[in-house]
Amino acid sequence: MGRPGRHAQWTCWETIEHLADCLFTYAARFGLAKPPASSFLPWRASSDREDGPARVLAADRSAGPEGLLTIVEACGGLLASVERTADPAAVAHHVFGPADPAGFAAMGVVETLVHTHDVAQGLRLEWSPPGDDCERVLRRLFPHVTIDGDAWRSLLWATGRIALPGRPRLTGWRWYNERSGAGGEGRVQGPGLG
């Protein structure tokens, strides 16, 4: 897991640890009676090395890859539980704009899909998720992206990982945290998220 992930500055371990950290911190926002709408929780983030990703959650390296994946599963389970039980009208802060629980669940799915891809690329493995998961998160967080057939490739393009015919690879990207409709149509379920 010390091999570089897709982003050469992070190892595969660091990429997966970042994923767990995202899932955990997304869930924690809705553990409060009143989620923070305009600021982050007062975490102390740290990194194991100068160029490594900052995170508030670190896996015990002596537990090996199995232990790291257990942490990801636990954090994904927390986010899934929060999305199902939090007030759907609640809103919490995110750097790309405030989002409701369904929005944070969608962000968790995007993080899971693209970072699994990053690690698979680093390990030289082929991997692709179910297209339905990709299409749902594209519609929820990337409404500006046209889905041309393959939703997975469209998600990879939207997150700056690949070029598509007629669309150069993005060097900067973001998602948009519009809130879901009153009827729950923004709910997203995917790997580890219900």
Task: Record the pTM.
Answer: 0.87
| pLDDT score, position 154 | 97
Beta bridge partner(s), residue 164: 167
Quote the CA–CA distance of 6 and 15 in Å, as a whole number: 9
What are the pLDDT tens digits along the chain (194 aa)? 555 555 568 999 999 999 999 999 999 999 999 998 888 899 999 999 988 899 999 999 999 999 999 999 999 999 999 999 999 999 999 999 999 999 999 999 999 999 999 999 999 999 999 889 999 999 999 999 999 889 999 999 999 999 999 999 999 999 998 765 433 344 444 333 33
Sign (positive or negative) of CA dihedral 37, 71, 69, 102 = negative
